[in-house]
Structure formats: structure tokens, C-alpha cells
Amino acid sequence: MKKEIVIIGGGIIGLCCAYYLQQDGHQVTIVDKSDLSSGASFVNAGYITPSHIIPLAAPGMITKGLKWMFDASSPFYIKPRLEADFLRWSWLFKKSATAKHVEKSIPIIKDINLLSRELYVDMKNSGDFDFHFERKGLLMCYQTDKEGEAEWNMGKRAISEGLHVQNLTKEEVKKLEPNVDFNIKGAIYFDSDAHMTPTNFMPQLIALLQQKGVQFYTDETITNLEFSADKIVAVQTSKRTLKADEFILSAGSWSSILAKKLRIQIPLQAGKGYRIDVSEDTKITMPAILAEAKVAVTPMQGFTRFAGTMELGGINHNINKIRVNAIAKAAETFYNGLKIPKTSIENAACGLRPCSPDGLPYIGKTSNYKNITIATGHAMMGWSLGPATGKLVSELIGAKPTSMKLEGFEVERFS
């Protein structure tokens, strides 16, 4: 049955929900407080990552977070705040950071990433639009034996999950990337991964959705929700009232604020990440993560992107130059002869990734309102999981069997 659907949030998750819902014949409207030209969906590393099977909430992360709290240039930085939402999130994060939780999460994360990768391929082959998509895999480059051992242990765990992983020497890495002079001891190579150019994909997807009849209202803030019994009947924006049969909340780091209007708790913290784009030819052709520094390197369409850091410091878009410089320094340390231009560093941008306390997204319905679906909390995997999330949401709204089990993604698991 055709439905009127309003999606709150026009990032990669909201757009992918719209993509599959309009395919099912629904009339879709997207409302977003921005102009859909910036944010986490534009500044991410562009990775599709079946390799990333370990959730953020893992043993040792609390210790690392406390250690790195006093280092503004560290890969994972937590700014302590006496705020109820932050303190509750931190407690839930600590509670989730167990070996048992990691083992339970690994197959879930792997399966949704593999589903999403295949859906990206389907999109690419649809003929509807032509975007940059390459499956070259991912190099986890390391400079120390200790880090190399840790990365290989991760690789062996991935092998046990059915992924193809290789432990490469520096010489073997050179064969994959012959024109780059690495300062590394070796790399763990995952051939499961792919990469894209977000600034190429996002405008194309928006244009396609508009062509397919999806209505966009941008630069509009949600001011209120109207209810009737166990249903939402309308959302009020700063400019209009939008009525619909179904609503989707996919507003990224702002989702938990809007969820409070629904009287449900969706613990989220905004994890700020930065990117530096270099238009000069770096000769880099392989996506790589610089393991010790946790910096992602992506050869995108027309430029190379260096991205990284996870900064939990509230909702803001302030650029911390210390953290930006740390990304540039790390890149220059791993790639001999690489020099990040000063203008590229000065033009660095950031985005806010919605992080759940257990490292798993929220995908599903709520118990108190029948016609709202939540799709948020994807943290660093938002880009990777866009199509899978959109597909699952469309199946939920269409009352169809879902492409995978939703166990682990329950919206009210912390209520």
C-alpha cells in the first residue's frame, strides 16, 4: 500500500531510506536543517568496510580513552562534561565494552556491511546514476611489531568469519602500491572492502531522488511533533507542517534530541571526525588505514582524502587545529616524501558521527508510536551501512521479511 512518508534527516542514511521507499512506490518527503552540502556524509573516508567487525565499545577502549583524554592530538579524545546525557552514555559505553559484547557483535556488523556492499553494487549497476565505486580492498598499515601483531590478530578473527585477509610484508605492499614509498613494517590486507567519493555520490543521489519525485525541504528545523493516541500525525518545521502516514528519524547526532519528543531514550554522542583533501597527485591508489595513528587514507575522484580522529565533545563544528595537524603529520610519517599543503590543512572540515554506547546502530520501530522508524547511531560506519539501513527500513515499513535479522539493532535496548 502506497504511503506518505516523511524522513527527518537528509544524510546518507535518510537518502538511502528514501531511495528504497520510492522504489516501493511510496511518496517520500525529506526535511533537513541544513542545505545538504556538508556534514559527516560529505567529509567521511568513503569506506565500505566489512573488515571493521569490532564495535567501538570494546575492552581496552575505556583505558585508552582515559589515557588519551589528556592528549588533544590523540586518535580518540573524550572531553569530560557534567551533562546527564554524556554521563549516562559513558556508563552504558563502559557496561558494553566487554569481550562477550564484542563476540556477539562481530557477525552482526560483518553481515550488515556485506549486505550494504552488495546493495551499493546493485545501485552502481542499476543505470540510474554513475558514481565512483572501487573495490580495491583496504591496507591496515603498521610501523611497529606490537601494532602489527594486534592487527594480524584482528585479521585472523576476520578470517574465521569467512573474510579473505593477508598478512603482507613491506615488499608485498609495494607490489600493490608501486609508486608510493611507505615508512611501514607491513600491512594487513582485507580484500573485502571498497571505497567511494562521498562528494560525488551525495549530489547524484539527491538529484536522482528529486527526479523520482522525492520532495526536499532544506534549511528547516523540526520544532514540534503532533501526536494522536499511538501515532504521530505531523511534524512542524520552522516553515511548515508536514503530515504523513509514516515517519523516519535519521537525523544523525541530533536524533537523540528529537527522540526525547517521542518520550524514548536513544543514547547518542556526536563523534567528530576531520578530513583533509589534497588535490595534488599523491600517487596513492590504495585505501589504507595508518594503524598507530588511526588515520584513513582514500584515493577519491580527483583528490586524496586523509581522515580521522574520534572526538566526543558535544554537538559543535569547531575545528581543533591540533587534531587536524595530527592527521597531516601522521600521513607524512607513513608516506615518505608526502607533504600535505598548508592550504589543504587550512581547508580541513569536520562532521559529526552519531555514536551509540555499544557501537551498533539503532534500526527499528518504537513501542509507543506505531508509525515511526528509527535509523541512526551508525558511528564511523554510517557511509558503509547507508544502503543496508535504507533497505531494512523500507522492508519494515512495507511489512516485508527483512534482508537480515535486526537482533542487536533494537531501538529501545537501553530503555
Find, among 39, 4, 33, 20, the residue nearest to 258 by Cα.
33
Mean per-residue pLDDT, 305-324: 92
Do the domain assignments include residue 409?
no
pTM comes to 0.96
Q: What pLDDT score was predicted for residue 63?
A: 63
DSSP designation for 188 = E
Do the domain assignments include residue 284?
yes
3-state secondary structure (DSSP) of residue 209: helix
Q: Which three cell numbers stand for residue 98?
A: 566487554
Which tens digit of pLDDT belongs to each residue from 132-156?
A: 999 999 999 999 999 999 999 999 9
Amino acid at 21: L
Do the domain assignments include residue 407?
no
344 pLDDT above the threshold of 70: yes
8 Å CB contact between 29 and 244: yes
70 pLDDT above the threshold of 70: no
Find, among 299, 67, 268, 297, the residue nearest to 197 by Cα.
299
Q: What's the Cα-to-Cα distance from 404 to each of 71, 102, 111, 247, 363, rounded to whole Å?
A: 40, 19, 8, 22, 12
8 Å CB contact between 131 and 204: yes
Q: Which three cell numbers stand for residue 69?
A: 583524554
Find, among 190, 176, 183, 144, the residue nearest to 50 by Cα.
190
Per-residue pLDDT band for 69 (boundaries 50, 70, 90) equals: low
Give the total number of structural domains in the chain.
1
Q: What pLDDT score was predicted for residue 206?
A: 98
∠ CA 215-216-217, nearest 5°, is: 125
Enumerate the β-bridge partners of residue 378.
Answer: 355
Enumerate the β-bridge partners of residue 364.
Answer: 374
Per-residue pLDDT band for 66 (boundaries 50, 70, 90) equals: low
Q: What pLDDT score was predicted for residue 163?
A: 97
Find, among 243, 259, 260, the residue nearest to 375 by Cα.
259
8 Å CB contact between 415 and 408: no
8 Å CB contact between 235 and 224: yes
Per-residue pLDDT band for 59 (boundaries 50, 70, 90) equals: confident
> The domain that contains 31 carries what CATH number?
3.50.50.60
3-state secondary structure (DSSP) of residue 214: coil
Per-residue pLDDT band for 79 (boundaries 50, 70, 90) equals: confident
Residue 410: count other Cβ atoms within 10 Å of its Cβ: 15
Enumerate the β-bridge partners of residue 7.
Answer: 30, 248
Mean per-residue pLDDT, 315-332: 95
Write the CB contacts of 320 (distance below 8 Å, at least 6 apart in sequence). 72, 274, 311
Which tens digit of pLDDT belongs to each residue from 247-275?
A: 999 999 999 999 998 888 999 999 999 99
Find, among 198, 224, 165, the residue nearest to 305 by Cα.
198
Mean per-residue pLDDT, 372-390: 97
8 Å CB contact between 183 and 336: yes
Which tens digit of pLDDT belongs to each residue from 21-46?
A: 999 999 999 999 999 999 999 999 99
Do the domain assignments include residue 338?
yes
Mean per-residue pLDDT, 299-313: 94
Query: Which range marks the domain in which residue 339 is found?
Result: 4-397
Do the domain assignments include residue 291?
yes
89 pLDDT above the threshold of 70: yes
Residue 332: count other Cβ atoms within 10 Å of its Cβ: 15
Alpha helices in 143-254 (DSSP H): 145-160, 170-176, 198-211
Going by their DSSP bridges, the two strands 349-355 and 362-365 should be labelled as unpaired
Amino acid at 181: D
Residue 80: count other Cβ atoms within 10 Å of its Cβ: 12
Q: CA 183 to CA 179: how far, in whole Å?
A: 13
Q: What pLDDT score was predicted for residue 105?
A: 96
Do the domain assignments include residue 232?
yes
